[in-house]
Structures are given as structure tokens and as C-alpha cells.
Amino acid sequence: MLLNAQDPEVKALKTSSERSIKKDPNDTLPKLWKKGGIFGVNLSQGTLSHWASGGDKFSLALNAVLGLHAFYKKGKNNWDNTFDFNFGYIKTTSLGSRKNDDRIDLLSKYGHAITSKWNAALIFNFRSQFFKGYTYDENGMGTLSSSFLSPAYILVGAGVDFKPCPPFSMFLSPISSRWVIVAKDALAATGAYGVDPGKHSKNEIGAFVSFNYFKESTKSFVYKGRLDLFSNYKHHPEKIDLYMTNVLNVKLSRSLALTYSLDMIYDDDVRIFGDNHDRPALQIKSLIGVGFLLKF
């Protein structure tokens, strides 16, 4: 009798545990965090044998892109965070193994609304790369030019952030502090990247402007662009450093996508170009590929 009396209660508990729970339509609390990212890999390989028009007997190219973002907004407070990692590797029978892309970029920006479009803001940016890089002469001989934290750039600034529309923002700082780091002894000894010979870091005070654009127009189209300008008050403020990145991803199918990236850098202190390797130049890097792309 006791077992029979419990049956209705057991059935009620089972029914209750299996029912789906729907969101209350009156629950209108906004989502505080918007998070996501992309991961893409492009791989190509070629082989030639007795090819009349010539070319490398073997070639292998790999390019990987990882981009993460986390945007927070509550009341008058907003906090934008992005992280980018790009890596490219190429191997051929004539040139050997080389990297053709390597970038770490972390950007964090906190703002407090003054008006609907203007924020008082703080910014933090870290840029470097993971692996050793070389410059090559006409004979293919490589000279070490970079490695992890050589160089690295750390920037901290306070200013205002202008957001006229969701995809675009412009940060202006009349005074910001930037550290140029060269951790590798061999590079520090030569005074690379404007750091005094034998030193491992240099501090610069100057004005900083950053333009950012991030757009997901459809589920298959993502574009992210950024332009940073820095003027060093301590040394030739008229020679403005430029750092620009552009990444476009177009999804062609469920697992296939086209990725194009264009980077440009100008830094008057990076004097490793020209016949005597003693002058600066506009550095341009352009990569395009088709491969796997995952959005999350």
C-alpha cells in the first residue's frame, strides 16, 4: 500500500524534471557580454617533376588566423577586448623554411559614457610575435631580425573614445606612454628598433590615435580593420609611427572560406632597409588564401 501511494508523487517528479523551461517573456535584462571569434587555416602544397617552365620541386605553405573578441556593456560602462594571432609558414626547395606571418596583438579599452557617442576611456595594447624572424639578402643568407618579445610594444593611454555607430570607434589620447622592448641580447646589442645599444627597453611619451572597425554584415562575411598612429614627443614628433591591420573573411561554404589580410607598418626607428640597412621604409604584408574557417 505504501508503494502504491508513492507512485503518483514519483510520476509527478519525473514529469516535472523532463519538462522544458522557457524564458519568461517579461525577462528583458540585456546581455552584458558579446563574445565570439574566428579560427581559420589555409594550407597549400605543390610538387613539380621535370616541369619545363621551371619552379620549385616542392612547396608547402600554411597560414593560420585566430581572432577573439569580448565586448562588455552595462549602463554607462563599456569594455572592449580583442586578441589576434596570425602565423604563416612557407617551405620550398630553393628558399628553405621561412615564416611569412607572425603576430600577437591584444587590445583592451575601457570607457565610461559622457554622452551618447563620447566616452572617457583608458586603453592598453600589447604587440609582439612568437617565433624568430630573419631578413634575407640576395644570396638567401638570413640575419636574425626578430624573436619573441624582440620587439614588443606595450602602450597605455588615457583619452576619449568616439563611437558614432556600433561598427566604428575612434580613440584619441593627447598623452600616452609606450614601451619598446627588445629582450633578445643579440638584437639589443645592435640597438635594434630604436632601443639604445645594450639596453632592453625604451620609453616613449606621445599622442596616440586608434581607429577601429568591426563588422559582421552576414553570417558569411566578417571584416576587422584597425589603424594606429603614434607621435613620440621625445624624438622627432613629426615622424609619425603607423600600424594598420585588415582582415576579411568570406565564407564560401559550411567549412570553406576565403581569407585576406593586409598589414602596413611604418616606424622611423626600424632602420633595416636599403643598401646599407640604415633607412626606414613602409612595411607591407598581403596574404590571401582559401581554407577551413570556424566561427564561434
Give per-residue pLDDT as tens, 51-86.
Answer: 665 667 788 889 998 999 999 999 999 999 999 999
pLDDT in tens, 149-162: 999 999 999 999 99
Q: What value does the mean pLDDT take over residues 267-280?
A: 78
Interatomic CA distance for residues 101 and 98, integer angstroms: 9
Q: Do residues 74 and 32 make contact, with C-beta atoms less than 8 angstroms apart? A: yes
Q: Is 4 helix (H, G, I), strand (E, B) or coil?
A: helix
Domain residues of the chain, as ranges? 74-80+101-290
Q: Which residues contact 244 (CB under 8 A, 6 or more apart)?
A: 225, 226, 227, 228, 262, 263, 264, 265
| DSSP state letter for 38 | E
Place of cell 510520476: 11
What pLDDT, on a 0 to 100 scale, did the predictor assign at position 15?
Answer: 52
Q: What tens digit of pLDDT does each residue of 232-249 get?
A: 999 999 999 999 999 998
Mean pLDDT is highest, among 43-47, 137-141, 158-162, for 158-162
The class (CATH top level) of 74-80+101-290 is: mainly beta
**pLDDT for the residue numbered 55:** 66
